[in-house]
Structure formats: C-alpha cells, structure tokens
Amino acid sequence: MFNSAWEREHVWHPYAAIPNPNPVYQVTSASGVYLTLDGGQQVIDGMSSWWSAIHGYNVPELNQAIEKQLKDMAHVMFGGLTHQPAMDLAKTLIDITPSNLQHVFFADSGSVAVETALKMALQYWQGRNNDKKTKFLSFTHAYHGDTFGAMSVCDPENSMHHLYKGLLPTHIFVPPNIQDLRTAFAEHHQELAAMVVEPIVQGAGGMLFYDAEVLAEIRSLCEEYNVLLIADEIATGFGRTGKLFACEHADITPDILCLGKALTGGYMTLAAVLTDPKISQGIQKQGDILMHGPTFMANPLACAVAKASIDLLLASDWQKRIQNIETLLKQGLLPCLSSDKVADIRVMGAIGVVEMKEAMDIPIIQADLIEQGVWLRPFGKLLYTMPSFVIENNQLDQITTAMLHCTQTEV
C-alpha cells in the first residue's frame, strides 16, 4: 500500500518542496492512454507523460524492441565503441530531418541536448577565430531546460528560473515579433553566436504560439547577419504540432536541431542533436574536438526503442490522427470561453490550452480532474492537454469536458 506520508518526507518531485505539501498519486500500471492508480482507479493521461508517450503505454512494438535489444546488451559506453541501434537510429533521424542535417550527437535528456547545442555553437565560432560571438538570442517566455547553460537561454524574468537571475550567463531576449527581431539582430549580431528558438510553440514558458512568418524571418535574419540557428524541437518534434517537425510550418532548416521527449515514445530518456556539416567542420578547423560525452550517450536500449517508435509513427496515419485531435480540441475547449475566469484558449495540432485570468489552486484542480477520471498537470494560469496520438474521440471528449468543468466550478 502506498505510504504517502513516507514518500512526502523523503522523495523529491519536480518543481516541488520537501516535505512535499502537495499530494502525489501513485501509478501502479499504464496501458493505452490509461494510468491505473493505487486502489484501482483508472484515469486518462492527457499529458502523455510530459508530451513524450505519443503511442500511449505498454505498446507491443516498443516492448518488443526493448526486449529484443536486452538479450544482446542493455548498455555499452559510446567512447571508442559503437553499436547497430545507434547507427540505425542516426540514419533514420538523418532521413526524416532537413537534408542539411547530416551529423548526429546522442545525449541523454533534452536539457543536455540544449547544452550540447550551445557548446557546438560556441566552439564553431572559436574554430573560426571569432572570440566576439559568445552571446545567444532567445525569446521572452522561452524555456529550454533546467541545467545551467539551458537556463541561461530561458527568459530570466518570466520563467521558472528567475531565482537564478544574476548567477547565469547573461544573454539577449526579444519578443516573438518581426520588428523586435530585426532590431535585435541589427544591434547585437557581432556578439551573437546563435539564436535558440522553440519553433512555433513556446512550451513550459507559457504554451504560447506564434506565426510561421516569424520563424521564416528568423532564418532570414540569421543568414543575413551570420548567426547560427538552433531549433529546440524537444517538445514539438515528431508530430505534436501537426507537422513532423515544427520548423516545417515555415519550411526552414536550422543549423542545429535538438530532439528529445517523444523520440523514444516516452519509454526511455534519450535526446539527439543534429547538425549541418559546417558546424562539425568549424569545430575541428583548429584541430579541436567537441568537448562533451555523457556516460549513457546512445544507450542501446533507448536507441532501439527510439527507432521502433519512429517507425511506428511513420507507418501510422499520424497526420489524420492529429488533425482529428485538433478539431476535437477546438470544439471541446471553445465553451470554456463562456467562463469569466478564462482569458484565452489556444489549440494547435495535439495541443490544447486554456489560459485562466488568475493562477489556479493546482492541488484542488488536480483532485477535481482525478475525480472526473482525467490526469493533467496544470501550472500557473495554464490548464492544458497534450494527449497521446492514439487517443480515441470519447477519451478526448472526457478530457475536454473535465477541463471545461474546471473553468466553470469553484475549484
């Protein structure tokens, strides 16, 4: 039986204090889009485990991929060694991403992928004997991860990392509009190593969407002012926005691409950084090497299940599924606007957001959602869902109905 008192005192949860003042719910198993909680209650996971479990849980094809690989080896260091799962996955990623991205570096989390990308950009300019380009340009409300380098390119004023303001490297931030971008590039291009951007959708910084023309302008400005473009598609990659990668909304290609989350279908932690050959060639121009190498880089189990997850996604009618999810989210969330507590609703692909006018009492909201058979993880003023792509219409309707209920009751 779940000992909540012991857990509260000893186990540290994400973005939480210890002892943890908020309730946590023990999951005993997961299958399809359902989580089974301690005591037997089933809830629909509207978060797909922080946007990663795009095929749902306990997926036969993904289980099989891990079981098959496990019989050969669970892990082997990637320093001086290689293995077939890494090579197979690298080839697949190169095949499905823009044609200029030909080199793959495997990391072990999204934050580490961003760290690696930043180091690549800095070493690229070092290799070109340019010691002035040491700054990064990012959006206000940007979120790129929780490690120190990644935090430094998150909005220092409007993000969860404001506590570290003054302790992190100082970079440049601009709202996602064309005029401010043009001004920032004109004023700062000589010191800019790269712009780091979440294409089309800003995730944990506010679940904000911006126009494809802004992304297209960023690519144009990077070329005009000789600045690298790093696309952080950790949250948006693998179909979440309705395109396989969100950069496709503006038909642009980055110099460096970061992938994670849904890469393994939510099974294991793995990330990848893909680069244009000019990046690796620039780094080694002075005989240098990329100074990064995680212990669990290219873990064979993770690579095997990632390859299986991508194959499963591409073999499905994923575009039609996501278009259907988008349509149902728009229909289901529109009535939320009738509540005077709601500021806005936003839907794109398999992302549905209800923004409240005031911050929510999260524990009370979550308890209400659990009672309605739904698991969501709201934060601040945002009540949102990013479900698995395999969700059925009636299950999605249950999620939107529960979200509507939260906007219209005193919870």
- Write down the catalytic residue from 57, 143, 267, 384: 143
Alpha helices in 3-109 (DSSP H): 4-10, 48-51, 60-72, 84-96
- Catalytic residue status for 143: yes
- Catalytic residue status for 232: yes
Q: By the 8 A CB rule, do 227 and 171 touch?
A: no
- Write down the catalytic residue from 45, 155, 232, 255: 232
Rounded distance, CA 84 to CA 43, Å?
Answer: 38
Rounded distance, CA 406 to CA 46, Å?
Answer: 15
Give the strand pairing for 228-232 and 192-197: parallel
Spatial CA neighbour of 165 closest among 176, 178, 154: 154
- Catalytic residue status for 261: yes
- Write down the catalytic residue from 135, 261, 307, 381: 261
Rounded distance, CA 377 to CA 256, Å?
Answer: 30
Task: Answer left, alpha or beta for residue 242, where phi above 0 means left and psi between -120 and 50 means alpha.
Answer: left
* Other Cβ atoms closer than 10 A to 71: 7
The set of catalytic residues is 15, 143, 232, 261
